[in-house]
A and B are shown apart, each in its own frame.
Chain A
């Protein structure tokens, strides 16, 4: 009964969401920057690209940054992203000069309720209304007039199941891969964006997500 009530409230909440512009910076659509390939911002070929880095987040999450990917606003240590709830990593390889790939990783402060990780992951968007709001959020985050490229559903990145959805942006906006998983009861969300319009997209982003793990939790088990 309270479930139905809550869902009814969610439906009503939609009415107030309508007028609200994208609230969080990482959720806002990203327009393609007007930088020609090979222009100043791009590292010259032959420059020392940052090698593979281990990225450490709060709650014991660890990911392997692929070569050429860097943590934005890094302090002294390039792989230390602890103390942040939202972490942005940027691809700086020559290929990325065109695709301008980025990923935003997001943590939640509280644990996800459920018996095991599979159940918790399935529970994230069990209700159709919840999936609708997810689709609405990812389309809004991609661009005006965006469409769904790959419907929301479970997808395997490396050893782990994620719930992912891909969007196709309007011209001059970045398309996105939106994925969520639960490891040891903790939530990890990722928003990866690219200018790529071809059939193969988000390859290094998938590799990044495939490397997500929580060694401390695994050891504790």
Chain B
């Protein structure tokens, strides 16, 4: 449900502290009996030359990055389909069978239960358990695809008109200081101490960073195997130790720039999460999901009957069956459809309230996970510079195309619906006026009441 639900991604490997091979020693007598083995560091040497390459950044890569950020959570979800969902539904099916026996009339007690047990026909129950198992296995198999679809929906339309504006040519440079990314109107730097490590799947490399919610994603195919090996070497050499080279200078802003420091409160994170949950794509995805549940659950019983009819060697000819089937629409099939419609209607009615509650819970989680300390923000005529813990990014005004005001929070939206939230409370009154004037000059305005 929540793109905001970010579980911290742990590094896939931990490196031993760097140690240099000790000089040849003939020290303590206790050690004399042992052969002298030099300790060899597992860490490769820091590469000599910086690694620079270019790779397009696409919407699909952003989706992959968001999924990777939530990978532990999604993996748990997927596992629980089989570890929690399956036993629960099996238990309910068994309970239903026992309750059907218990309400069938006659003497119902434990001894009667044991007496009736040998005569019990296990096939209907077995068929029910089989259907449950198949459905959950299908859900388990489809879970990655469904998660991707949901993530796309939560990320919202890639641009205002809903079309993907296309890939951005992004230049990357790994050196002794950290990772520098450059694209038109964008320059960002992450120092080595803020890079937690490398994760990868079949097609992507993920540089897990402590700044922001989403790892830096690289398609393995684009920069090529040699570059990928180079990235691995750099990461293995430099992650988890002080950067061997000084960081580049932060972008300078003019003296007229608006400067402030900020840290989002839980209250300010809520509208950002709600914005993701309430974007048109997410709404549409919810309606499609509701329609799919409605169709699936209402058609389950007719489909089961049709399937059993089709495989029945003694089936009644179709011409005699169809009128009965049509009659069942009025007598039987509408009941599950009505129940499902009522439940879905209830869920859709309750959802807006639940969303608010959920967004609050997710905001609290995010707040707890966010790095300590405040970020600096500098706004001038060229764009916005943000900096925290040695990482910094310069975002040109051309990157932004939306300004939304939710209460005291300004949400600046970028390409692919990425957002930069700016709480107005951080500015002095005079700075606030200047910030609003700058934003107004460069962005279309939109104010939402909340």
Q: How far is the CB of B436 from chain A (nearest CB, A)?
A: 61
Q: Quick one: CB contact mask for B322-366 with A, threshold 8 Å, 1 for yes?
A: 001101100110011000000000000000000000000000000
Inter-chain contacts of A14 with B (CB < 8 A): 305, 308, 312
A2 contacts B103, CB within 8 Å? Answer: yes
Q: How far is the CA of A52 from the CA of B386 in the complex (A)?
A: 109
Among the listed stretches A55-63, A78-86, A129-137, A193-201, which one makes contact with chain B, having 4 or more residues with CB under 8 Å of it?
A129-137
Highest count of chain A CB atoms <10 Å: which of B124, B308, B314, B321? B314
B123 contacts A11, CB within 8 Å? Answer: no
Q: How far is the CB of A179 from chain B (nearest CB, A)?
A: 18
Q: How far is the CB of B54 from chain A (nearest CB, A)?
A: 60
Inter-chain contacts of A18 with B (CB < 8 A): 308, 311-314
Inter-chain contacts of B336 with A (CB < 8 A): 4
A128 contacts B320, CB within 8 Å? Answer: no
* Residue B316 is within 8 A (CB to CB) of chain A in the complex: yes
* Residue B163 is within 8 A (CB to CB) of chain A in the complex: no
Summarize A's interface: helix, strand, loop or mixed. helix
* Residue B245 is within 8 A (CB to CB) of chain A in the complex: no
Which residue in chain A gives the minimum CB-CB distance to B339? A4
Residues of chain B touching chain A, judged by Cβ–Cβ distance below 8 Å, are: 96, 100, 103, 121, 123-124, 127-128, 301, 304-305, 308, 311-317, 320-321, 324-325, 327-328, 331-332, 335-336
Known: A9-B100, A9-B124, A16-B121. A132 touches B331 (CB 8 A): no
* Residue A151 is within 8 A (CB to CB) of chain B in the complex: yes
A127 contacts B331, CB within 8 Å? Answer: yes
B321 contacts A132, CB within 8 Å? Answer: yes
Inter-chain contacts of B124 with A (CB < 8 A): 9, 12-13, 15-16
A11 contacts B320, CB within 8 Å? Answer: no
- Total contacts A-B at CB 8 Å: 70
A139 contacts B316, CB within 8 Å? Answer: yes
Q: Quick one: CB contact mask for A135-161 with B, threshold 8 Å, 1 for yes?
A: 110011000000110010000000000
Q: How far is the CB of B198 from chain A (nearest CB, A)?
A: 52
Which residue in chain B gives the minimum CB-CB distance to A138? B316
Contact of B317 among A9, A13, A140, A147 (CB under 8 A): A147
Inter-chain contacts of B315 with A (CB < 8 A): 136
Which residue in chain B gives the minimum CB-CB distance to A9? B124
Which residue in chain B gives the minimum CB-CB distance to A147? B317
* Residue A5 is within 8 A (CB to CB) of chain B in the complex: yes
Known: A15-B124, A132-B316, A135-B324. 5 other contacts (CB 8 A): A2-B100, A12-B128, A127-B331, A135-B316, A140-B314
Q: How far is the CB of A111 from chain B (nearest CB, A)?
A: 14
Q: Quick one: CB contact mask for A1-28 with B, threshold 8 Å, 1 for yes?
A: 0101111110111111010000000000
Inter-chain contacts of B301 with A (CB < 8 A): 8, 11
Q: How far is the CB of A27 from chain B (nearest CB, A)?
A: 12
Which residue in chain A gives the minimum CB-CB distance to B307? A15
Inter-chain contacts of B316 with A (CB < 8 A): 132, 135-136, 139, 148
Smallest CB-CB A-B distances: 8 pairs: A16-B123, A12-B124, A128-B327, A128-B324, A140-B314, A135-B316, A128-B328, A14-B308
Contact of A5 among B100, B121, B311, B313 (CB under 8 A): B100
Inter-chain contacts of B103 with A (CB < 8 A): 2
Q: How far is the CA of A132 from the CA of B328 in the complex (A)?
A: 11
Contact of A139 among B100, B121, B314 (CB under 8 A): B314
Q: How far is the CA of A9 from the CA of B128 in the complex (A)?
A: 9
